[in-house]
Structure 1
Amino acid sequence: MAEMGQRILIVGCDPKADSTRLMLHSKAQTTVLHLAAERGAVEDLELEEVMLTGFRGVRCVESGGPEPGVGCAGRGIITAINFLEENGAYQDVDFVSYDVLGDVVCGGFAMPIREGKAQEIYIVTSGEMMAMYAANNIARGILKYAHTGGVRLGGLICNSRKVDREIELIETLAERLNTQMIH
């Protein structure tokens, strides 16, 4: 999409902060939560400190997560997304990609869906059972908020892992979810 001139923002919502590494050609970037912890509050941050520009002009942000055993990763995502919103990160953007953990059912991970920040969602999965389980969980979350938030499942994208019968498995899952396999 970026190669077609679309303006893209990737928001990594995984405590590992590894969603944007390849786009930035670097190690994991400094996260919103890490920098906020260093400074004392998220209000002490500037957008430019946490939003970097990567390959083909794609804007990249990592929400990060709390110190292990302390806090809630979902709450951290809500904090990061609110910070981005309040500081204009979503202005002049055509598409936003939220990279969320699929195997977690915490409400914080569903925040982009629940609060109407997403209109159409594409789930990247593979033919591995845990990946399809995660895709199914995300689809269930989408369905829960489809009527109130106006969000819909646009389809499944196969990130092929060369699993036996992978395409068949994902097409079957897509059919059961009343959607399609895009790629």
Structure 2
Amino acid sequence: MNAIPVTQVQSAKFMEQLRAEAAIEPPPVHTGEVKKETQIIAIYGKGGIGKSFTLANLSYMMAQQGKKVLLIGCDPKSDTTSLLFGGRACPTIIETSSKKKLAGEAVAIGDVCFKRDGVYAMELGGPEVGRGCGGRGIIHGFELLEKLGFHEWGFDYVLLDFLGDVVCGGFGLPIARDMCQKVIVVASNDLQSLYVANNVCSAVEYFRKLGGNVGVAGMVINRDDGTGEAMNF
């Protein structure tokens, strides 16, 4: 009798697990009082994978559906909102905060938040090259947002555009501190983008074990070359 290869046994067990998970009944539909809660979604991915492009289109689509949407760019190069504003970048929170501080003035909402085609948008920004940690800039930006009443603005959705380097504490902030409910990963079929996607998912899993509540909503596969690597991941 020929022995069955281990890989076939593992594959059969994996398929069995998938069928078992698929057979679990979903939770019942909530029938109680509906309460509005801002959905904060952080989008991660390696540089150049198309996060900002995806977010600009997603935020615009939501706004056209009547949703109140805030798009926050958390990338130090501050390019998240440029597509919405015809190639022009918004003044960043960090830059504006520094100028206001030197002038002895307080930062107001209108100094850092801008609107076009129904989408509210702002950029956190970051330090100059070689002069600070990008993650620390993000932490500073969110501290300022908290002071400005970030959670009281009544948005339906807040979309955060993050680099996939969650090894850095600043970029992993939404996951580590439950500052969002869901994470979406933008990737393609190449090894580098899937490496970043795996890091993000590992970070979510790690903090959930510590009592965190952030979950992975799914993956946007950009630049699909048909190999199916991202889908397999």
Q: TM-score range by the shorter chain?
A: 0.7 to 0.9
* Paired residue secondary structure (2:159): strand
Matching residue within 84, 88, 109 for 1:23: 84
User: What does residue 89 of structure 1 align with?
Assistant: 150
User: What does residue 67 of structure 1 align with?
Assistant: 128
Instruction: Return 1-10 or 36-45, whichever deviates more.
Output: 36-45
* Paired residue secondary structure (1:155): strand
User: What does residue 155 of structure 1 align with?
Assistant: 218
Structure with bigger RCO (C-alpha 8 Å, 6+ apart) = 2
Residues 89-134 of structure 1 deviation map (CA, whole Å, 9 limit, x = unaligned): 3421111111111135201111112221111111122223222222
The alignment-based identity, stated in percent, is 36
Task: Tell me how far 1:64 sits from its aligned partner.
Answer: 0.6
Task: Tell me how far 1:164 sits from its aligned partner.
Answer: 4.5
User: What does residue 176 of structure 1 align with?
Assistant: none
Match status 1:172 vs 2:232? yes
* Paired residue secondary structure (2:229): helix
1:25·1:54 contact (CA, 8 Å) conserved in 2?
A: no
2:165·2:172 contact (CA, 8 Å) conserved in 1?
A: no
Task: Tell me how far 1:80 sits from its aligned partner.
Answer: 0.8
What amino acid is aligned across from residue 135 of structure 2 in structure 1?
A: G
Tell me, in whole angstroms, the C-alpha distance in 2 between the residues paired with 1:85 and 1:110.
17
What amino acid is aligned across from residue 4 of structure 1 in structure 2?
A: Q
- 1:43–1:155 distance in 2 versus 1, CA, 3 Å: farther
TM normalised by structure 2 equals 0.67
Task: Tell me how far 1:16 sits from its aligned partner.
Answer: 0.3
Residues 29-58 of structure 1 deviation map (CA, whole Å, 9 limit, x = unaligned): 111111122233797311211111123x11
Larger radius of gyration: 2
User: What does residue 80 of structure 1 align with?
Assistant: 141
User: What does residue 161 of structure 2 align with?
Assistant: 99
Tell me, in whole angstroms, the C-alpha distance in 2 between the residues paired with 1:155 and 1:37.
37
Match status 1:137 vs 2:168? no
Q: Which runs of 4+ in 1 moved over 3 A?
A: none
User: What does residue 177 of structure 1 align with?
Assistant: none
User: What does residue 146 of structure 1 align with?
Assistant: 208
* Paired residue secondary structure (1:60): strand
Tell me, in whole angstroms, the C-alpha distance in 2 between the residues paired with 1:54 and 1:145.
36
Tell me, in whole angstroms, the C-alpha distance in 2 between the residues paired with 1:92 and 1:72.
31
Q: Of Structure 1 and Structure 2, which has the larger fraction of its residues in helix?
A: 1
Q: How many residues align?
A: 169
Residues 128-152 of structure 1 deviation map (CA, whole Å, 9 limit, x = unaligned): 3222222111111111222422111
* Paired residue secondary structure (1:21): coil
What amino acid is aligned across from residue 171 of structure 1 in structure 2?
A: M
- 1:171–1:164 distance in 2 versus 1, CA, 3 Å: closer
* Paired residue secondary structure (1:107): coil
TM normalised by structure 1 equals 0.83
Tell me, in whole angstroms, the C-alpha distance in 2 between the residues paired with 1:23 and 1:88.
24
* Paired residue secondary structure (1:15): coil
What amino acid is aligned across from residue 145 of structure 1 in structure 2?
A: F
1:12·1:64 contact (CA, 8 Å) conserved in 2?
A: yes
2:166·2:172 contact (CA, 8 Å) conserved in 1?
A: no
